[in-house]
Structure 1
Amino acid sequence: MSDIYHVENNVPSLLTFCLSAIHQQQFTHALEAALAALKLNPNHAEAHHLASHAYGGNGDDFMARVMLKRAIALEPDNPQYHYNAAVNASVDGDTPRAMMHYAQALRLAPDLLDALWNYGECLRLDEQFTLALGCFERLVQLDVTHYESLWDRMSVCYAALNRHEEAEAMYQRAFAAQHSGALAHWEYALYKLSLDDFETGFKYYNDRFLCEGKNSVFCHDFPYPQWSGTFKHNETLLIHGEQGLGDELMFASLFTELLDDAEAVSAQVIIACKPGLARLFADNFPRAQLRTHMVGDRPADLSDVHVDAQLPMGHLMHLYRKKMDDFMAHRQPYFKADPERAAYYAERIQRLGREAVDGKRRFRVGLMWGSNPAAVSAKFSRWTHQRSIPLNALLPLVDMLEDIEFISLQNQERGSEAATAPQLDIVDFSLDQTDFYDTAALIDNLDLVISVDTSVSHLAGGMGIPTWVPLMKRADWRHGRTREHSIWYDQTRYFRQTQANDWQTVVQSMHDALRTHIDKKKARS
C-alpha cells in the first residue's frame, strides 16, 4: 500500500509528501500525491509544478511539459517555473525558447544562480559575449564561483571582446583552479594562436585529445609510441588524421618538409587520411605510403607494414611552425591537379557554360557558399551555419555576369542549391565530384575561388589559386584576428565581417574588388 494513504487529505499535506517523495526519487508516490492534490484544487500551480517533476522522474516527458506549462499559466511570475521550462527546452534542443524562459526567470529573480549560469552559457554560445559576461560577473559578485568552467568561460568572453589583459589573467586563474580541465587548455590554445603566439598556442594545442571529444577532436589510439620529432635511420612514422577535411588539407602544408627530413635519413612516412583525400594525397606526396583512415569508424589498416612511431597530424604544427617566419617561408603551393582530369573539366566548362553559346572565354569564378552541416555537436552546427553565406546574398555579383562565368564548387549534398539563384547562371558539377582529387581538377580551370571557411578554401589555397575567403566576425584561429591575407597560402585573401551575421558588407567589398579586377583585366586586353 502506498504511503500516500497515511497523509492527511488536504493540499498542503499532499504537496509536502510529494516534495519529500521527489527528493527520495520515489516518483510514483510523488505523482499520486500531486494528482490527489489537483483533485482537491485543479488550479493549484505548485501541484502542477510538482506533478511535472514526478512525471519527468517517471520518464513521461510529454506530461511533464504539459503540467509545467499549466503551472506557468496559473502562476506566470514564478521564476522557478520559468527556469524549469528553460531546462526542458534546452533538453529538447529548443535554444531560443530556453533563452526566453531563462531571461524571464532572471527578470523575476535577478540573482537566481543556476539561471545566471545557464543563461550566460546560452548567450556565450550565441556569441553575445557582453551579455554573457554580465551573467558570469554577477555570479562572481555574489561569490558563487563553484561552477566548474566559470573562469575559462569568462576567459573566452574577454578574449572575444579583445580585452586581452583580462582574458590572460582569467585563463591563468582557470588553470590554477582545481576543477579547470583540458577544455580550458584547448580554448587557451585557440586564443593564443589567434594572436599569432604560435609557440605557446601549439604547445597547449597538443593537449586537445585530453578533452575527451568535448572539442569535437578525436584521435585513434594506435599501438605505437608517439614520435619524438626527430627521425631515426630507417624509421617508419605513421602520421594520422584526427579532425576535419579542411584541417587535414591544411596540415598537409607541412608534409613536404616532413618527407624531406625523412628522406635525409632513409626513413619512411605513412599518411593515414580521410578517404576523400586519399587520391589527392597519393598523387601529390608520392614519397609517402597512403592509408585511408576514419577515426572511430574505419581506422587505418596497418597489418601489412611495420610502424615504429605515430603522430597525429596536428602535432606537426608545434614541430614545424613555431614562429611567423616559419609560415612566411613555406607558403608555396603543395597541391596540383591531375592534368587529364583537369582537361576533362576544361572541356565540360566550355560545353556547359556560356562560352558554348558565344565563344567568349569569361573570367571563371568558383563559388563555395555553404559548409556542410556538422553533425558532431550543436556548437559546431552553429558554426557551420554562421560561416556559410546564403546564396541569394551573392546576387549583387550578377551585374558582372557578362564578364564572369560562375562555377559551383559545392558537393552533392548542397549542389542543388545553385538552382535557387538562377540569376547567377551557376554551372554546377556537384554530381561529378566524388573526392578532392576531382575538386582539384575542377579548381585548376578557375581564375578565382570565392569560398567560405571550409575545406575547399584550403584546397584552392594549397593549389596556389587566387582565393577569397569571406569570414564570420569571430573567425577561426588559423585566420588570425585582423589580417587581410592568409599566412598559410600566398594567394588567399580575407574579407571579414565587421558586424556579426552581416554578409551584405562583405559581399559588397568582394563585389567592388572583383569589379576593379575585371576592369583592369579588360583595360589590358
Structure 2
Amino acid sequence: MQIGTGVEAAIAALQAGKLPLAEQLCSQARQKNPFDATVVDVLAMVQLEKGDGKAALATIKNVLSLDRSRTLYHTHHGIILKALGRLEDARKAYEEALALDPEAPDTLFNLALLCQDTGDLKESLTLCLRVIKLDPGNAAAFNNLGTTHQHLGQFEEAATAYRTAIALNPGHIGAYCNLAAALAEGDQIKDSLTVCEEALEKWPGHSEILNAQSNAHVKAQNWDSALAASEESISNAPEFAQAHYGKSLILLTQAKLEQAWPEFEWRVRRPNFWPKRHYGFPIWDGGPLTKKTLLVHWEQGFGDIIQFCRYLPLIKSLDSPPAKLLFDCPDKLIPLFTDWDCLDAIADFGDTPPEVDYFIPLMSLPGRLGTTLETIPADTPYLVNPLSDYFEVPPLAQTTLKVGIVWASDHGASYRRKVCPIAEIANLFDMEHIAFYGLQFGEDARELDAYTARENVHSLANDLGGFDHTAAIIEQMDVVLSIDTYIVHLAGAMDIPAWVMLPYAPDWRWFLGRRDTPWYPGSRLFRQQAPGDWASVIDTIRPELEVLVAQNR
C-alpha cells in the first residue's frame, strides 16, 4: 500500500512529538480519503500519545473494521489495550498480529514488554532473543533484553545487553540508566557510578541519570550523596515521579517519616505502580468522613498488604470516621480478615467497586494519619490463624525448639540480593534440640531436599497451601527465620517472633542500624555487614538460637 504524503508527514510529526500537528495532518488526510486505514491508525497512536487511551481504542477498532489484514494494526491495538491496563486483551491482540506474521519483530518486541508486566519473564526472555535474532541492529530490543535479564536477577547478562544497546545507539539514555541500575544491583557500585558520570558528561543534569546515580549511592549506603542526586534530579524535572519516590525511600530508610510521606505519594504516578485503578471518585485527602464511604485498595506485594492493613481499624477510630469502610483486597488474602469487624465489605473489587465517596491506596494511610517513628501502630497480633484444625506440624525427634526457615524470594530484580543460600542456613542444622521446618514456597523449596535426611530437618512446602494454611503452620513455630519476604510480615502480624535476615542495603521499612523493628515488637533483625555476606549473619544467629534452646529446655 502506498502511503500518501500527508500520512508520511503525520507519521513524522508523531515521531517528533508534535502531536497537534500530527492530529491536524491526519484530519486533512481523512478528508481526502476517510476509508484509508493507515491514516486512522496513525490518528489512534496520536491519541494514545496525547493520553486519551479511550479515544485511541475507539479509533483503532475503526481501523480494524476497515482492514484486519495488517499485522501493524493488530499490534497497535495491543499497545493501546496494554496502556489501558487490559493486559489479557492486549495479549490476544498481539497473538492475532502474530497469526498474520509469526516473525514480526515489532509485535514480538511489544509482546515481550507485556510479558515483563505480567511477570512471565521466561517467555519475555525467549521473545527478546527472537527479536534480536530477527533484528540484530535494534538497540531498543537489546535494551528490552537487558530489562528482562534484570527482572530475572541476571545482572551480568543484563549489563552485557545494555552495553550492546549503547554500542548500537550511543544516544540511548535509557540504556545508560538501565546499565547503571544493573551494575548497582550486582554490587558493582563503582562501575555503576562511572557509567552515571560518563552519561552526565554527555547529558549534563539529566534527571533520569541523576536518579540512577542516586540509586547506586543507596546500594552503597552513601545516604548524603544519594539524597543530593535525588534532589538535583527533582530540581531539573519537578514532575519526575520516580525521583520523588526515590527520595521518599531515602528519607524513610533514615526514619525521617514526616519528611518522607509527601514524597512517597508520588509512587502512584510511576508507570509501574500496581495496581492501576481507574475510579470515577476522588482520593481521600484526610478530611472528615462522616456519613461517607471510604474504599482502601491494596497495592504492591503481599508483604506490603499484611504490614499496612494494621491501619484499617484506625480509620474507624478517627474523630470523623466513615459510615462504611471497604477494603479492596486480593482474593488470596481475604481468609485472613474473616473476623475484622471494622470492614463493612472486603473483596477483590478491581475497577468496579460498590458505590463509594472516596478511595485511598493502602500505603498512603500512614501519611494521611500522620505516622511518626514514635506513633507506628504496633499492637500485635492484628492477624490470627483463622483455621482451628488444619494441620499439626509433625514433631521431630529430640528437639524442643521449632524454627521455620525461608531463604528465597520471587521479587524479580531484587531476588539475588535477598536470597540467602540454603547452604548458609544449613550451617545451623547441626545444632542440638532444634527442629528446622522449611516454609519455603515455589521452586526454591526443593533445595531443602538435600538436607531432609537429617532427623531435625523437615520440609512443609507441600502443606503451606493458602495464606490461611500458612498462618496455621506459622502459629506452631517458636521462631521464623527468614529473608525479607511476606512470611516475616505474616509472622510479625501474628506476634510470632520473626528473625529477619537483611541484605546490606535493606528495604526502607527496616530502617538503619536497628536490631529491632517498631513494626513488629516481637521480631529481630540480622543485617549483612557487607554486600553478599550471609555467613556473618548466620554466625550472629547461632548463639541467639542457643539462648532460645536453653530457655526452652
The question of a shared fold, defined as TM-score above 0.5 by the shorter chain, is answered with yes
Q: Structure 1 regions of 5+ residues with no counterpart?
A: 1-54, 69-80, 375-380
Instruction: Give yes or no for contact 1:239–1:270 (8 Å, CA) kept in 2.
Output: yes
For residue 272 of structure 1, what is the aligned residue in structure 2? 328
Q: Which moved more, 1:439-448 or 1:419-428?
A: 419-428
Structure 2 residue 506 is matched with structure 1 residue 475: yes
CA distance in structure 2 between the partners assigned to 1:226 and 1:105 by the alignment: 41
Structure 2 residue 361 is matched with structure 1 residue 309: no
1:55-108 alpha-carbon deviations (Å, 9 max, x no partner): 99999743655xx8xxxxxxxxxxxx9x999769637847535645878999x9
Q: Which amino acid aligns with 2:380?
A: Q
For residue 244 of structure 1, what is the aligned residue in structure 2? 301
- Aligned pair in 2 of structure 1 residues 519, 237: CA closer, same or farther (>3 Å)? same
Output the aligned Cα RMSD: 3.4
Q: Which amino acid aligns with 1:330?
A: A
Q: Which moved more, 1:510-519 or 1:428-437?
A: 428-437
Instruction: Give yes or no for contact 2:406–2:483 (8 Å, CA) kept in 1.
Output: yes
- Aligned pair in 2 of structure 1 residues 256, 204: CA closer, same or farther (>3 Å)? same
1:443-469 alpha-carbon deviations (Å, 9 max, x no partner): 111111112111110010111111100
Structure 2 residue 192 is matched with structure 1 residue 132: yes
Q: Which amino acid aligns with 1:334?
A: Y
CA distance in structure 2 between the partners assigned to 1:299 and 1:84 by the alignment: 33
- Aligned pair in 2 of structure 1 residues 453, 182: CA closer, same or farther (>3 Å)? same
Structure 2 residue 483 is matched with structure 1 residue 452: yes
1:312-368 alpha-carbon deviations (Å, 9 max, x no partner): 1011010235311112x5343211223613xx43xx22xx3325xxxx562111112
CA distance in structure 2 between the partners assigned to 1:196 and 1:424 by the alignment: 43
- Aligned pair in 2 of structure 1 residues 167, 518: CA closer, same or farther (>3 Å)? same
Instruction: Give yes or no for contact 1:206–1:315 (8 Å, CA) kept in 2.
Output: yes
CA distance in structure 2 between the partners assigned to 1:286 and 1:242 by the alignment: 22
- Aligned pair in 2 of structure 1 residues 219, 429: CA closer, same or farther (>3 Å)? same
Q: Which moved more, 1:454-463 or 1:362-371?
A: 362-371
For residue 212 of structure 2, what is the aligned residue in structure 1? 153
1:375-400 alpha-carbon deviations (Å, 9 max, x no partner): xxxxxx12123212222221111122
Structure 2 residue 342 is matched with structure 1 residue 287: yes
- Aligned pair in 2 of structure 1 residues 95, 448: CA closer, same or farther (>3 Å)? closer
CA distance in structure 2 between the partners assigned to 1:193 and 1:137 by the alignment: 26
CA distance in structure 1 between the partners assigned to 2:442 and 2:164 by the alignment: 43
Structure 2 residue 346 is matched with structure 1 residue 299: no
Match of 2:253 among 194, 197, 203: 194
For residue 225 of structure 1, what is the aligned residue in structure 2? 282
Q: Which moved more, 1:435-444 or 1:144-153?
A: 144-153
CA distance in structure 1 between the partners assigned to 2:277 and 2:395 by the alignment: 45
Match of 1:62 among 126, 129, 133: 133
CA distance in structure 1 between the partners assigned to 2:504 and 2:216 by the alignment: 14
Q: Tell me the SS of whatever aligns to 1:132.
A: helix
Q: Structure 2 regions of 5+ residues with no counterpart?
A: 1-103, 108-129
CA distance in structure 2 between the partners assigned to 1:458 and 1:165 by the alignment: 30
Alpha-carbon offset, residue 404 of structure 1: 1.3
For residue 372 of structure 2, what is the aligned residue in structure 1? 323
For residue 52 of structure 1, what is the aligned residue in structure 2? none
Instruction: Give yes or no for contact 1:86–1:98 (8 Å, CA) kept in 2.
Output: no
Match of 2:419 among 368, 379, 388: 388
Q: How does 1:73-472 map to 2 (within 5 A)?
A: 90=146, 93=149, 96-97=156-157, 99=159, 119-140=179-200, 142=201, 144-145=203-204, 147-178=206-237, 181-213=240-272, 216-261=273-318, 265=321, 267-283=323-339, 285-293=340-348, 299=350, 302-303=353-354, 306-327=355-376, 330-338=378-386, 340-341=388-389, 344-345=390-391, 348-349=392-393, 352-355=394-397, 362-371=400-409, 373-374=410-411, 381-400=412-431, 402-411=432-441, 414-422=444-452, 423=454, 425-472=456-503
Instruction: Give yes or no for contact 1:237–1:270 (8 Å, CA) kept in 2.
Output: yes
Q: Which amino acid aligns with 2:371?
A: K
Q: Which has the larger radius of gyration?
A: 1
For residue 43 of structure 1, what is the aligned residue in structure 2? none
CA distance in structure 2 between the partners assigned to 1:147 and 1:172 by the alignment: 12
Alpha-carbon offset, residue 154 of structure 1: 1.9
1:474-505 alpha-carbon deviations (Å, 9 max, x no partner): 11011112211112000111111112122111
Q: Which amino acid aligns with 2:356?
A: V
Q: Which moved more, 1:494-503 or 1:119-128?
A: 119-128
For residue 512 of structure 1, what is the aligned residue in structure 2? 543
Q: Tell me the SS of whatever aligns to 1:232.
A: coil
CA distance in structure 1 between the partners assigned to 2:469 and 2:147 by the alignment: 41
- Aligned pair in 2 of structure 1 residues 430, 84: CA closer, same or farther (>3 Å)? closer
- Aligned pair in 2 of structure 1 residues 521, 256: CA closer, same or farther (>3 Å)? same
- Aligned pair in 2 of structure 1 residues 301, 210: CA closer, same or farther (>3 Å)? closer
- Aligned pair in 2 of structure 1 residues 267, 196: CA closer, same or farther (>3 Å)? same
1:5-53 alpha-carbon deviations (Å, 9 max, x no partner): xxxxxxxxxxxxxxxxxxxxxxxxxxxxxxxxxxxxxxxxxxxxxxxxx
Instruction: Give yes or no for contact 2:316–2:322 (8 Å, CA) kept in 1.
Output: no
Taking only the aligned residue pairs, the percentage that are identical comes to 23
- Aligned pair in 2 of structure 1 residues 364, 84: CA closer, same or farther (>3 Å)? closer
Instruction: Give yes or no for contact 1:408–1:427 (8 Å, CA) kept in 2.
Output: yes
- Aligned pair in 2 of structure 1 residues 189, 424: CA closer, same or farther (>3 Å)? farther
- Aligned pair in 2 of structure 1 residues 121, 180: CA closer, same or farther (>3 Å)? farther
Q: Which moved more, 1:120-129 or 1:387-396?
A: 120-129
CA distance in structure 2 between the partners assigned to 1:516 and 1:92 by the alignment: 44
- Aligned pair in 2 of structure 1 residues 397, 221: CA closer, same or farther (>3 Å)? same
Q: Which amino acid aligns with 1:362?
A: T
- Aligned pair in 2 of structure 1 residues 500, 205: CA closer, same or farther (>3 Å)? same
Alpha-carbon offset, residue 424 of structure 1: 6.8
- Aligned pair in 2 of structure 1 residues 156, 366: CA closer, same or farther (>3 Å)? same
CA distance in structure 1 between the partners assigned to 2:106 and 2:301 by the alignment: 39
Instruction: Give yes or no for contact 1:270–1:290 (8 Å, CA) kept in 2.
Output: yes
Instruction: Give yes or no for contact 1:393–1:507 (8 Å, CA) kept in 2.
Output: yes
Give the TM-score taking structure 2 as reference length: 0.68
Give the TM-score taking structure 1 as reference length: 0.71
Q: Which moved more, 1:360-369 or 1:505-514?
A: 360-369
CA distance in structure 1 between the partners assigned to 2:342 and 2:157 by the alignment: 55
Q: Which amino acid aligns with 1:308?
A: D
Instruction: Give yes or no for contact 1:209–1:218 (8 Å, CA) kept in 2.
Output: no
Q: Which amino acid aligns with 1:167?
A: A
Instruction: Give yes or no for contact 1:148–1:179 (8 Å, CA) kept in 2.
Output: no
Q: How many residues align?
A: 420
- Aligned pair in 2 of structure 1 residues 196, 153: CA closer, same or farther (>3 Å)? same
